[in-house]
Each structure stands twice: as structure tokens, then as C-alpha cells.
């Protein structure tokens, strides 16, 4: 099997389903997923939770960010440093100015926001399977970041997406970093231990 071609096919399939949801359904599903995520992560007071700024028609993390802050969590957003480097994370408060940056124009906190090391990362994705393997957008930012963080300390990775993005099987390569839990608008579940 050509793994790159299969991942490309799965990405297109899942992103097509996501786009077909429509704005109203995406907003409703984002709120439902936020409730599942908050229940699944447990106590967050004082913990650093890295979310992501939604790109195109991704699941909206704003409802979850509000709930996490209300529960005492410190929130952060990823910052792209360079194409082949791990992400870094900067504090994201309700009054933090976000600037669309980089080739994707994804909003990020500026350099004045303190850098943080997250305890939990919400991971964006295009497609996922029940084992916790995911297809990202092809740049490998989260695989690199999770590999570095997991080598340094215990960190939890939670895939956060719409249920329609689930596929039967994501082919895994040696560099792929699975998530520890998946959360959608329908449910949240822990995946098995990493091999």
C-alpha cells in the first residue's frame, strides 16, 4: 500500500464530510464536543491546556476554551516556529490579541505572550480511527511536537474533531504519534496504550 496516497485519500474523504456539515451544524457540534471534552479531561485547575485556533471549517475550540478557563485551566495556543520544527505554545487569555501568521494565516498569540509547556494538548486533525491514529494536514507539526514532549514528560494528547471525520483505518508510519483520547460531538473515549 502507498501510505502517502492512502492518507491523502482519507484526508480528502474526511474533509469533504466536514465541509458538508454546514456552519450551523458545525457550531452546534462544537458546543457538544466541548461538553464531552470538559467531562473527559477531569480536573483542570492550574493545568496548562493547549488548544488550537480553528482553520477553515475545523471544529471550534472557543466554547471549550471558555469552559476550561472557567474551571481554572491556563489555556495556550500553538505557534509555528519553522516548517521542520516542533510547535511552541503561548498563553492564550480572553484578552490576548491573536495575529494571523504564517502561510496558513492561523491566528497565534504574539511574542509578548508567555511561552508555556502544556499538560494536555488538543490535537487538530483531518481524519482519525478508533486506535487514536490520525491524518493531519501533511506538515507533521503535531507528530514532531508530541515526540519531543513525550520524551521529556508525561503529556496527554486529545484528538478533537467531528464524528464525521472518523475513518475505519489510518495507516501508521513509524513517526506517527497517536492521541491518547478522542473527543467528538457524540462521545469521548480513551484509546489503547501506545506500542
What CATH number does residue 166 fall under? 3.40.50.10420
Residue 195 belongs to a domain:
no
Task: Please tell me the predicted confidence (pLDDT) of residue 193.
Answer: 60
Task: Please tell me the predicted confidence (pLDDT) of residue 161.
Answer: 98
Give the chain as a DSSP string.
--HHHHHHHHHHHHHHHHHTT-HHHHHHHHHHHHHHHHHHH---TT-EEE-----TTPPP-HHHHHHHHHTT-EEEEEE---TTS--EEEE--TT--EEEETTTTEEEE-TTSPEE--SEEEE--SEE-TTS-EE-SSS-HHHHHHHHHHHHS--EEEEE--GGGB-S-----TT----SEEE-SS-EEEPPPP-
Q: What is the pTM assigned to this prediction? A: 0.93
CA–CA gap between residue 99 and residue 111 (Å, rounded): 10
Once rounded to an integer, what is the mean pLDDT over residues 176-185? 96
Task: Please tell me the predicted confidence (pLDDT) of residue 44.
Answer: 95
Interval 119-168: pLDDT, tens: 999 999 999 999 999 999 878 899 999 999 999 999 999 999 999 999 99
Is the pLDDT at 114 greater than 90? The verdict is yes
- Position 83 confidence tier, pLDDT thresholds 50, 70, 90: confident
Q: Report how many domains make up the chain.
A: 1
Task: Please tell me the predicted confidence (pLDDT) of residue 195.
Answer: 42
Once rounded to an integer, what is the mean pLDDT over residues 66-87? 95
Domain span including residue 38: 3-190
Is the pLDDT at 48 greater than 60? The verdict is yes
- Computed over every residue of the chain, the mean pLDDT equals 94
Once rounded to an integer, what is the mean pLDDT over residues 60-87? 95
Once rounded to an integer, what is the mean pLDDT over residues 20-24? 96
Amino acid at each position: 500500500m502507498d501510505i502517502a496516497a492512502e492518507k491523502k485519500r482519507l484526508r480528502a474523504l474526511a474533509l469533504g464530510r466536514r465541509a458538508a456539515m454546514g456552519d450551523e451544524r458545525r457550531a452546534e457540534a462544537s458546543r457538544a464536543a466541548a461538553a464531552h471534552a470538559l467531562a473527559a479531561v477531569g480536573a483542570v485547575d492550574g493545568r496548562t491546556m493547549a488548544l488550537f485556533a480553528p482553520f477553515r471549517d475545523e471544529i471550534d475550540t472557543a466554547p471549550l476554551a471558555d469552559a476550561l478557563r472557567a474551571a481554572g485551566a491556563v489555556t495556550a495556543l500553538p505557534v509555528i516556529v519553522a516548517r521542520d520544527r516542533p510547535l511552541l505554545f503561548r498563553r492564550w487569555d480572553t484578552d490576548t490579541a491573536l495575529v494571523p501568521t504564517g502561510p496558513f494565516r492561523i491566528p497565534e498569540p504574539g511574542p509578548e505572550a508567555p511561552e508555556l509547556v502544556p499538560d494536555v494538548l488538543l490535537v487538530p486533525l483531518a481524519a482519525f480511527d478508533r486506535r487514536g491514529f490520525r491524518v493531519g494536514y501533511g506538515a507533521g507539526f503535531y507528530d514532531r511536537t508530541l515526540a519531543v514532549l513525550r520524551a521529556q514528560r508525561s503529556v496527554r494528547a486529545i484528538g478533537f474533531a467531528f464524528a464525521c471525520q472518523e475513518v475505519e483505518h489510518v495507516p501508521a508510519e513509524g513517526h506517527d504519534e497517536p492521541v491518547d483520547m478522542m473527543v467528538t460531538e457524540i462521545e469521548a473515549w480513551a484509546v489503547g496504550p501506545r506500542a
